[in-house]
Amino acid sequence: MQKPHPLVAGNWKMNGVTASHAELEALSTLLKTDSPAECEVLICPPATLIASSSNMGLSAIKIGAQDCHSEVSGAHTGDISAVMLKDAGADYVIVGHSERRADHDESSDLINAKTKAVHNAGLRAIVCVGETDAERVAGDTSTVVLGQLLVSLPDSCTSENTVIGYEPVWAIGTGKTPTVEDVADIHTEIRTALTERFGEDGAMFRIIYGGSVKPSNAKELMAALNVDGALVGGASLKATDFNGIIAAYRA
Ligand code: PEP
């Protein structure tokens, strides 16, 4: 049976200035000199670095954005549309990251509209879902995650244009991770929800795990059932650390 091609994505968040291009250059060198990795590699720098990073022409590294507006253009001061991100050289856009959901009060309905905008621009969306610690402790992980998922995904989603990022909020930037069994369980529930909604194509969506992934735990997390890659925050800022995570996909 065909399996999804893994994706290892780095989210630089609000980190990075022109000098950070050196990390991209270093990552590109590591990807060329190390043994081949069976995964796609993506870096989502801050919006200010998308065009310049994409213009570096590093063929082994795709460039993405961390958010977009749901409309194509208009009177939305400070916002950036998916069309503009495509024009700047982005291939992917992260939508619904828990920091956007929390800091900017983004609802799953808004994320649905943003995901549609990403698809309409001809880009791929990484749609993030995940429970808080309180929700986990209350035993509500499945309800929260599947609820966010079904509302956040528009009908335009296919395995080609959409990746699901499962990121338990309590694991982001904390050094804590769920057990491999817990990751496999929720990824499998997400897989089932995708096949119920999108039929056979649901089996081919990439479902990537995020939350304190580092070189030392990547291999076991990436080996869990229905885990098709990683979404990495802190450890994506240093080329050597990120390359150590990519190593999970080396023979
Ligand atoms: C993230 O914010 O997407 C993330 C997974 O962060 P970290 O890897 O730093 O936990």
From the CB of 212, is ligand 1 less than 6 Å away?
Answer: yes
- Region 230-250 average pLDDT: 98
What is the per-residue pLDDT for 85? 98
pLDDT-derived band at 94 (thresholds 50, 70, 90) equals very high
- Distance, CA 181 to ligand 1 centroid (Å)? 20
Would you say the CB of residue 96 lies under 6 angstroms from ligand 1?
Answer: no
The rounded percent of the chain whose pLDDT value lies above 90 is 99
Asked if residue 90 has pLDDT above 90, the reply is: yes
Give per-residue pLDDT as tens, 184-219: 999 999 999 999 999 999 999 999 999 999 999 999
In the chain, where are the structural domains located?
7-249
Residues 170-188 have pLDDT tens digits of: 999 999 999 999 999 999 9
Residue 91: is its pLDDT beyond 80? Answer: yes
Residue 108 corresponds to which tokens in the numbers above?
């799953």
How large is the average pLDDT for residues 50-55?
Answer: 98
User: Which residue's CA lies nearest to atom 2 of ligand 1?
Assistant: 233
Q: What's the pLDDT at 247?
A: 98
Q: Is 10 in the pocket of ligand 1 (CB under 6 A)?
A: no
Tell me the average pLDDT of the chain.
98
Q: Which atom of ligand 1 is nearest to the CA of 210?
A: 5
Question: What average pLDDT score do residues 96-120 get?
Answer: 98
Confidence of residue 8 (pLDDT cuts 50, 70, 90): very high
**Predicted confidence band of residue 1 (pLDDT cuts 50, 70, 90):** confident
According to the model, what pLDDT value does residue 70 have?
98
Structural fold of domain 7-249: TIM Barrel (3.20.20)
Q: In degrees to the nearest 10, what's the CA dihedral of 233, 234, 238, 239? A: -30
The predicted structure's pLDDT at residue 93: 99
Average pLDDT of span 94-107: 98
**Which residues participate in catalysis according to the annotation?**
97, 167
DSSP-assigned states of every residue in the chain: ---PPPEEEEE--S---GGGHHHHHHHHHHHHHSPPBSSEEEEE--GGGHHHHHTT--TT-EEEES--BSSSSSS-TT--BHHHHHHHT-SEEEES-HHHHHHS---HHHHHHHHHHHHHTT-EEEEEE---HHHHHTT-HHHHHHHHHHHH--TT--TTTEEEEE--GGGTTTS----HHHHHHHHHHHHHHHHHHHGGGGGGSEEEEESS--HHHHHHHHTSTT--EEEESGGGSSHHHHHHHHGGGB-
Q: What is the pLDDT of residue 78?
A: 97
Confidence grade of residue 2 (pLDDT, cut at 50, 70, 90): confident
pTM above 0.85, yes or no: yes
Determine if ligand 1 sits within 6 Å of the CB of residue 211: yes
Q: Which of 67, 101, 133, 232 to mutate to test the pocket of ligand 1 (most atoms within 8 A of CB)?
A: 232
